Structure 1
Amino acid sequence: MLLRSRRKIAREVSIYEPIGTDKEGNEISLLDIIEGEAVDVAGQMDLKSDTRKLYAFIERALSPRERKVIILRYGLGGAREMTQREIASALGISRSYVSRIEKSALKKLRAGFPDSGEE
């Protein structure tokens, strides 16, 4: 009895073999369940390249304080996104000053980053 039940469990199953039906009565195979989204490798490589360019540009174009505000505000480099009020508290400055720093930094980034969409 034990051997028979183990044999049932251990049998090989084709990923194309029907394993059930959906709500509409269509057969569902294992492949339908485990099939994932197609990965856009070229898109991912472009995104990584653009991200590296952005970080390099941020390092060159912004002052240390502007860099810190932008990194904290937008959660860059794995940092947690913070509100202007939280940044002000962390840096010991006013929220309005954080707002001015952020606005200035974004203006520099838009003006100098290639393909920023601004003309």
Structure 2
Amino acid sequence: MHLRSLKKARKDVSLHDPIGTDKEGNEITLIDILGTDRDEVVETVQTKIEKKRIYNHLHILDPREQEVIRNRFGLDGGKEKTQREIARELGISRSYVSRIEKRALIKLFHEFYRVGRKSQ
């Protein structure tokens, strides 16, 4: 198959590379056979990048903020939880979870901005 030959050559494979043709002679790409909408693939990849970026900067948050952000965004392989679920687990109000989340996201935003400015 086409993908195996590319793998042997150690060439990067793009989702948009042609991998064959259909019965009518139309070109088929890898993204066509994955069975997902192109926007969904892009969104999934973007979400993984953002989660990794958040995870790499969690050290700037205090332990409670880290716990809320980890649970809220499903970091460390967990599932994303609602503020209500987190509040129930921590024994605090949903509005307090909201305030902790907002404070943590502001800290992360400032850290991203600070790091971004250093690399320019």
TM-score computed with the length of structure 1 as normaliser: 0.55
Structure 1 gap segments, 5+ residues each: 1-13, 38-43
In the TM superposition, what is the alpha-carbon distance from 1:56 to its structure 2 partner?
3.4
Match for 1:96: what amino acid? S
User: Root-mean-square deviation (CA), in Å?
Assistant: 3.2
Letter matched to residue 76 of structure 1:
L
Q: Does 1:58 align with 2:58?
A: yes
Structure having the higher helix fraction is: 2
Residue 80 of structure 1: aligned partner: 79
How far has the Cα of 1:102 moved from its partner?
0.2
| Structure 1 residues 1-35: Cα deviation after superposition (integer angstroms, max 9, x where no partner) | xxxxxxxxxxxxx87xxxx963xx4388xxx5xx6
**SS of the residue aligned with 1:77?**
helix
The C-alpha deviation readout for 1:29-57, integer Å capped at 9, x for no partner, is xxx5xx635xxxxxx9xx77x92x54232
* 2:37 aligned partner: none
Q: Secondary structure at the match of 1:115?
A: helix
* 5+ residue gaps, structure 2: 3-20, 32-44
| % identity of equivalent residues | 44
- TM-score, structure 2 as length reference: 0.54
Q: Secondary structure at the match of 2:81?
A: coil
User: Which residue identity does 1:78 align to in structure 2?
Assistant: G
Instruction: Name 1:36's counterpart in structure 2.
Output: 30
1:15-26 alignment, distance < 5 Å: 22=23, 25-26=24-25
Structure 2 counterpart of 1:11: none
* In structure 2, C-alpha distance between the alignment counterparts of 1:67 and 1:97, rounded to whole Å: 14
| Whole-angstrom distance in 1 between the partners of 2:88 and 2:77 | 20
